[in-house]
Chains A and B, each alone.
Chain A
Amino acid sequence: MKLWFEKQRYLIDFTLASMARRKARNLGLLGVYTVLVFVLASVALYTHALRVEAAKVLAASPEVILQRLVAGRHDLIPPGYLEKVGRIRGVQKKEGRLWGYYYDAVVKANYTFMVPNDASIAKGEIVVGPALERSRGLAAGNGISFRSYSGKLHTFIVASVLPQASEIASADLVLMHEEDFRAFFDYPVGHYTDIALSVANPLEVRNVALKLAAALPDSRPILRDEVLRTYASIFDWREGIVLALLSAAILAFGILAWEKASGLSADEKREIGILKAIGWETGDIIKMKFWEGLLISLTAFLAGFVAAYLHVFYFAATLFEPVLKGWAVLYPEFRLTPHIDGLQVATLFFFTVFPYAAAVLAPIWKAAITDPDAVMRG
């Protein structure tokens, strides 16, 4: 065992000395490789953590949201609609929700105006989300005016700011009293935006949705399961622009690996010829090159992954910010709880380390089994 270990160490010594002769090329390769793993791992870690976070947070959202559609468009719930829902068995609680969008021309951002059902906000006061606090420089006790869609100016006092920790769900919220909301948007009395239903038995949710669709044909029930599924597929890293951009990088790396796989440089061929001529066996040469491939790919994988972990969970995925922000002015500042999906890491390892090690070995095998004299002559 000790002999085997010593032999491998000498092979590594020799490999490193040989790699040092092509320092720029190997360091460049290691750099590109590490960056590629870093970007792929960052995307994988970020999307997985976000999916887990969304599933945890949205598990508390209403079981069923009932929208009314008119000519294929979302419309207000008229008076009397809520009562019809109440007659459906299995529905434990039903509440009309009041919410809408407001475009603030001052900071060119969209806010979500909402009325909490527990009537916890006094008339004339609002509670704002943390992103709004930042963008408008608001604090508790400040006054703020919004021009409503009818042209009237409405002034509110900021009662408090929602906690920063919940920013992922509440960044752009403006919570207000029901009367203020109705006056601001000229909302007709008794009308609601949509209806939130709670269903006592989770197994009954689908049945309730079917009954709702039958009893109220102009309605569209949105189940929590559907919402969760939407968020499970959100940022799916196999889709979207991030991967589209990455595919160019992957392709470039593929070309690099292919270039290495399809032929050896004259220097490398000569080296193999000399080694064989002085008595190295084919197996030793392959072992040496195996160490070369493993050292580069394993170092790149480990360094890239660790850097990606720090980037996503300790530096809030700063490099992705421009892509993820899009055109949104209000962007939530949030830290994700670290989550690692073992399968994802294994997949990443398999697709980054193995192809390279294989690409390195194939041409070496070809050169190592030919006659040293022929190899040296090229």
Chain B
Amino acid sequence: MRPMRPRPSTLALLLLMLATAAFAATLLDAAVPREQREAELNATRALVARLGLTDLALFTEARYTRHPSQADLHSAFQDHPLALEHFPTGSLLPPPRYEIVVRETALPD
């Protein structure tokens, strides 16, 4: 006699349950506090405070991508007035959205 094979629905529901459990595990994993990461984050924050850093070192290819918050809005088009921005990061990194403090048109950007 051939051994009884499990019904396809049993397999499918088992697979779905497994996938749901894995999904729930990711949510749980994200919610678990990480002491070591917290300590590292505090150390980074202390370094930022000590050096007065203003930006993340994510894109180091050009000065306006290395410190986007410190660059003026025209620096991406500095070569000539109609020059297109040529660093690839420019397509990932939107220009900073500054609020105008007082001088609406007194000075550029």
Residues of A whose CB lies within 8 Å of any CB of B are: 9-10, 12-13, 16-17, 20, 53-54, 56-62, 65, 67, 69, 72-74, 95, 97, 101, 109-110, 112, 114, 116-118, 129, 131, 162-163, 165-173, 175, 194, 196, 206, 209-210, 213-214, 217-218, 220-223, 226-227, 229-231, 233-236, 239-242, 244, 295, 298-299, 302-303, 305-306, 309, 313, 323-324, 326-332, 337-340
Residues of B whose CB lies within 8 Å of any CB of A are: 7-10, 12-13, 15-16, 19-20, 22-23, 25-27, 29-30, 34, 37, 40-41, 43-63, 65-72, 74, 87-89, 91-94, 96-99, 101-103, 106-109
Q: Is the CB of A12 within 8 A of B8?
A: yes
| A329-B98 Cα distance, complex, nearest whole Å | 29
Q: Is the CB of B54 within 8 A of A241?
A: no
Report the tally of A-B residue pairs with Cβ distances under 8 A: 233
Q: A327-B89, A337-B41 are in contact. List 15 more A-B contacts (CB 8 A).
A: A20-B8, A65-B52, A72-B74, A72-B109, A175-B51, A194-B70, A220-B109, A222-B69, A230-B68, A230-B96, A234-B94, A244-B91, A298-B19, A326-B65, A328-B61
Contacts of A170 in B (CB 8 A): 44, 47, 53, 57
Contacts of B101 in A (CB 8 A): 206, 209-210, 213, 221
| A196-B52 Cα distance, complex, nearest whole Å | 7
| A194-B92 Cα distance, complex, nearest whole Å | 27
Contact of A340 among B22, B27, B45, B58 (CB under 8 A): B27
5 sampled A-B residue pairs with Cβ under 8 A: A56-B45, A58-B56, A112-B60, A117-B51, A168-B44
Top-9 shortest CB links A-B: A302-B19, A165-B40, A12-B9, A166-B44, A171-B57, A60-B49, A16-B8, A72-B108, A338-B30
Contact of A62 among B22, B52, B88, B109 (CB under 8 A): B52
Known contacts A226-B69, A234-B93; A118/B53 CB under 8 A: no
**B56 → chain A closest CB, angstroms:** 6
| A171-B59 Cα distance, complex, nearest whole Å | 10
Contacts of B92 in A (CB 8 A): 235, 240-242, 323-324, 326
